[in-house]
Amino acid sequence: MKKLFVFDLDNTLRSTNLKTILPNARKLILEIAQHSDYVLALATGRGLAKLDVINDLSNLFKYKILVNGAVILEDDHVIRDYPIDPLLVDEIIKSANNKHISVGIVGIEKEVVTVVDQNIKAAFNNFIDRKPIEEPNFHLNNKVYQMWVYHKDETEIEKEIIAKYDLDIFHWHDGGFDMVSKGVSKANALLKLKSKYKDYQVIALGDGHNDLDMIGLADIGIIMENSRWIEAAKGKYQLIGPSVDSDELYEFLKNNKII
């Protein structure tokens, strides 16, 4: 049977706790990539600037759904992109600056922040494996595909964003959220792939808030045991996969006759 595999990255393939892709997860990707009837896709909230964490595995993914679906690559060429309206980006950043709130800004090849403050340092310590680049005017000369906030007052900031702006929001595991253009999602990106691979069985795996609708679109949707969204995902998934830190996903897919 022909199959399209779509993997989330963080806390599905790659352990955030251990900051690596564990050996059996690597084995899984290598084996799928060698199968002539399988197509591999990566679906992540990361942009190109932070894909170095997959190193030598990168070229095994025919498709990369990046920045929560705002950019789609096929064989490392952009085939779709959905930047946020520049006027909207500028308005949000000006408002955030007035309130002394730092904003993360994601371009296609670079990710920056408006100000490096204590909240940003905490975000990078907890979730991101590199030092933040402070570049407050990045958005004036570059397409912006995603903005993000990591702040102790996350809930109140999110309420204000939802009330004022026509954007979609995806939550991090704790303390932060991403903002993308309305209608941008991993799920909508997967719909475009499904239209190209109509006779393929789709297997989608993820753990995050941004993965739930993608999992729901798959023929076999798998949510990871380490997900905080299992209750919210009821009715969308067929299987619960093993915790990423156990490194048992390869055996799990074998035992369920998915590979």
User: Could you tell me the pTM of the whole model?
Assistant: 0.91
Check residue 219 and report its DSSP letter.
S
CATH 3.30.1240.10, domain 86-181, yes or no: yes
**Nearest Cα to 92, choosing from 114, 77, 71?**
114
- DSSP result, 81-108: E-PPPHHHHHHHHHHHHHTT---EEE-S
Average pLDDT, the chain: 94
User: Both tokens of residue 38?
Assistant: 């399988």
In angstroms, rounded to a whole number, what is the distance separating the alpha carbons of residues 216 and 221? 6
pLDDT tens-place string over residues 208-256: 999 999 999 999 999 999 999 999 999 999 999 999 999 999 999 999 9
Domain pair 3-81+184-255 / 86-181, same fold: no
Judged against a pLDDT cut of 70, whether residue 143 lies above it is answered with: yes
Q: Please check whether residue 100 is in contact with residue 108, taking contact to mean a CB–CB distance below 8 angstroms.
A: no
Q: What's the Cα-to-Cα distance from 60 to each of 15, 68, 207, 239, rounded to whole Å? A: 19, 20, 21, 25
- CATH fold of 3-81+184-255, please? Rossmann fold (3.40.50)
Q: Which residue has the tokens 């904003």?
A: 103
Mapped onto helix, strand or coil, the DSSP state of residue 190 is helix
Which sequence spans correspond to the domains of the chain? Answer: 3-81+184-255, 86-181
Residue 155 confidence class, pLDDT cut points 50, 70, 90: confident
End-to-end, the C-alpha distance of the chain in Å comes to 10
